[in-house]
Amino acid sequence: MSEIKPMTEILKDAPSNWGKWGADDEVGALNYLTSEEVMRGIRSVRSGRVFTLQRMIGDPKGDPVWPGRSPAVRIQVLDESDWDEGGSAPEFPGGLHYADDKIEAFLQGSTQYDALGHVWYDGKIYNGFDADTTRGGLEKASIMPIAERGVVGRGILLDIARWRGKDSLDPAETFTYEDLLACAKDQGVEIEKRDILLIRTNFLARFFEMGDAFYENFCEPGLAYSPELVRWFQEMEIPNLATDTIANEVTFDPTTGVALPLHCALMRNLGVTLTEICDLEAIAADCAEDGQYAFMYAAAPLKVAKAAGTPVNPLAIK
C-alpha cells in the first residue's frame, strides 16, 4: 500500500452539515428526528414486543471493548457480611441491611453513544468547534445535548450476516450502502429517509469464542468509506447508525489504510450519531421469524457532564 494520506486530504471533498442547524448546534443529524418522525416510528409498532439492545456490563464471559480500554469492573461495597460481628456497616433503626456496589469503567466500554465531539481531525470537531474545547472534557458537542434530547424514530434492522449466509462476518470484511439496499430488499423492507439504521454482523460472537485472541491483528468488519456512501447518508438524512461492533465501521479502510474514516466523514462532518456494541441477536432472530424488520427505536444515553460518550440501553419496539 502506498503512503497513507492524512484524513484532511482523503475527505477534502466530503459533504458537511456544519451550520445547517445553526452555529451552536450540538446534536447534528438528530435534528431530522422531528415529532413527525417520532410518530412514524410509533406507527411501525404492530405487537408491542420490546427488545433491549444493551450488552451486559460485567459479563462473566468478558466485555468486548476497544483495544486499549479495560473492561468494566463491578465492586461490591456492602453486603450481609458487613453486618457480621465486628463489621463496619451502618446501623439503621429497625435493622435494615442493604447491598451496595459500584463500577469502574470506560464510559465507552459497553453499548454506548458517541458524542459528536468524540473524534476530530484538522483541529475541528463537529460543526466547526475548535478541538481545544475538548481539553479537560468536552465543552462543545458532548454527550449531554444528545442525552437531554433523546433519540426516537423508525428503526430498521439490516441483518448483513444472515443475508450473506454467515454466522458472523469475517475480520476486515466490508460492505457498501448498495449492500444495505440489497439486504433490505431481500428482507422485504425499504430503507426510508430518516430511518435509524441498525446493522448486524454478529462479529462479537467471536470475542466470546476466542477470548484475548480476538484482539490479535484486530480489524472489525463493517461499512467501508466511499464518497458515494457518505453522499447517500446525507441524501437519506440518516440520523443515527447503530451496529453490534465496537466501532461501527471496518477498522482500517482497505483502500486508504486510515483508521475509522467514517467516524470523521459521518459523525464529525455530517453529525450522524453513532451507537456501538449493541446486542442485536434477539431482535435479529425475531425479525427473521416474523419478517418485520422495521420498528420503533428509542434511546437516551446517560447524562454525564462533558463526556465524549456514555452507556445506553436502547429499546426496539415491534
Q: Residues 16-44: pLDDT tens digits?
A: 999 999 999 999 999 999 999 999 999 99
* pLDDT at residue 168, rounded to an integer: 98
Q: Would you say residue 113 lies in a domain?
A: yes
Taking 60 as the threshold, does the pLDDT of residue 260 lie above it?
yes
Q: Residues 119-140: pLDDT tens digits?
A: 999 999 999 999 999 999 999 9
* pLDDT at residue 86, rounded to an integer: 79
Q: Would you say residue 1 lies in a domain?
A: no
Q: Would you say residue 150 lies in a domain?
A: yes
Domain co-membership, 98 together with 137: no
* pLDDT at residue 87, rounded to an integer: 82
Domain co-membership, 93 together with 137: no
- What is the arithmetic mean of pLDDT over 239-263? 97
Q: Residues 164-203: pLDDT tens digits?
A: 999 999 999 999 999 999 999 999 999 999 999 999 999 9
Return d(Cα 150, Cα 38) in angstroms, integer.
11
Domain co-membership, 240 together with 93: no
Domain co-membership, 151 together with 77: no
Which residues are CB-neighbours of 159 under 8 A, at least 6 positions away? 183, 187, 200, 280, 284, 287, 288, 293
* pLDDT at residue 227, rounded to an integer: 97
Domain co-membership, 48 together with 173: yes
Domain co-membership, 200 together with 239: yes
- What is the arithmetic mean of pLDDT over 207-216? 94
Domain co-membership, 172 together with 198: yes
Using CA atoms of 166, 113, 28, 42 in order, give the dihedral in degrees to the nearest 10.
Answer: 70
* pLDDT at residue 3, rounded to an integer: 86
Domain co-membership, 222 together with 96: no
Domain co-membership, 93 together with 178: no
Domain co-membership, 227 together with 267: yes
Final residue before a domain boundary, out of 85, 104, 123: 104
Domain co-membership, 161 together with 124: yes
Q: Would you say residue 199 lies in a domain?
A: yes
% of the chain at pLDDT higher than 90 = 97
- What is the arithmetic mean of pLDDT over 260-286? 98
* pLDDT at residue 30, rounded to an integer: 98
Global pTM reads: 0.96
Which residues are CB-neighbours of 168 under 8 A, at least 6 positions away? 161, 201, 202, 203, 205, 206
The chain-wide mean pLDDT, for the chain, equals 97
Radius of gyration, alpha carbons of the chain = 21
Instruction: Compare 3 and 275 and report the one with higher pLDDT.
Output: 275
Q: Would you say residue 2 lies in a domain?
A: no
Q: Can you give the CATH number for the domain in which 150 is found?
A: 3.50.30.50
Taking 70 as the threshold, does the pLDDT of residue 1 lie above it?
no
Please count the structural domains in the chain. Answer: 2
Domain that holds residue 267: 7-63+107-317
Domain co-membership, 235 together with 175: yes
Taking 80 as the threshold, does the pLDDT of residue 289 lie above it?
yes
Q: Residues 96-119: pLDDT tens digits?
A: 999 999 999 999 999 999 999 999
Instruction: Tell me 263's DSSP state.
Output: I
Predicted confidence band at 85 (pLDDT cuts at 50, 70, 90)? confident
* pLDDT at residue 270, rounded to an integer: 98
* pLDDT at residue 291, rounded to an integer: 98
* pLDDT at residue 308, rounded to an integer: 98
Q: Residues 136-174: pLDDT tens digits?
A: 999 999 999 999 999 999 999 999 999 999 999 999 999
* pLDDT at residue 88, rounded to an integer: 85
Angle at 311 between CA 104 and CA 189, to 5 degrees: 150
Beta-sheet pairing, 151-159 with 196-200 = parallel
Residue 91, Cβ density class (10 Å: 0-12 exposed, 13-18 middle, ≥19 buried): exposed
Which residues are CB-neighbours of 234 under 8 A, at least 6 positions away? 15, 17, 270
